[in-house]
Amino acid sequence: MFAFRRVDKSDARTITSWRYEPPYNFYNNLQQDAEIDYLLHPQNNFYSILDATGELVAYCSFGQDGQVIGGDYRDEALDIGFGIRPDLTGRGKGVEYAKAVLEFADTLFEPKAFRVTIAAFNKRAIRVWQKLEFEHQQSFERGSDRMQFIILMRTNCII
């Protein structure tokens, strides 16, 4: 149903131009040029997610991009970053997209566990991952702005 490809320059431009409504504007990218380079850097493992018609509908990342300074990441797990195109959010499809990301991640990395780090206020995102069997692992505060985050993990990687 969804196709994945490495983010290219055109996708990176599009993704960094996405604007979420408050309170989710926390996820908006304001320094677009730097952010484009960041999305294109191979180490950050950013993938575009396309629907059946080839439209860019979401993105995901694997690895360090999904971590937030202040969290304890000593357990072995694949960190996942994820965002749906703003106009497609809030339509009850979050689990469908996130499940596709897990399936793709599983074929690519065969991880021991999946992990997501989410701003504590973002109940919508937390709900999506909880519905996919992710469980609370820790809560922490980011030192730079005292923002609260939580880490959820799923140790069963059979999707």
Task: Provide the binding-site residues for ligand COA, judged by CB under 6 A.
Answer: 20, 24, 27, 82-84, 89-94, 116, 118, 122-125, 127-128
Shortest CB 84 distance to ligand COA, Å: 4
Residues 6 or more apart in contact with residue 74 via CB below 8 angstroms: none
Shortest CB 72 distance to ligand COA, Å: 19
Q: Tokens for 39, please give them.
A: 């999305």
Choose between 36 and 85: whose C-beta lies nearer to ligand COA. Answer: 85
Shortest CB 61 distance to ligand COA, Å: 10
Tell me if 81 sits within 8 A of 35, measured CB to CB: no
Choose between 36 and 60: whose C-beta lies nearer to ligand COA. Answer: 60
Burial of 34 (0-12, 13-18, 19+ CB in 10 A): exposed
Shortest CB 152 distance to ligand COA, Å: 10
Shortest CB 155 distance to ligand COA, Å: 18
> Cα dist. 1→67, 89, 97, 101, 136 in Å?
28, 18, 10, 12, 29
Count of residues for the chain? 159
Choose between 44 and 122: whose C-beta lies nearer to ligand COA. Answer: 122
> Cα dist. 28→58, 85, 110, 133 in Å?
14, 11, 30, 27
Choose between 54 and 92: whose C-beta lies nearer to ligand COA. Answer: 92
Query: Which residue minimizes CB distance to ligand COA?
Result: 94
Choose between 5 and 19: whose C-beta lies nearer to ligand COA. Answer: 19
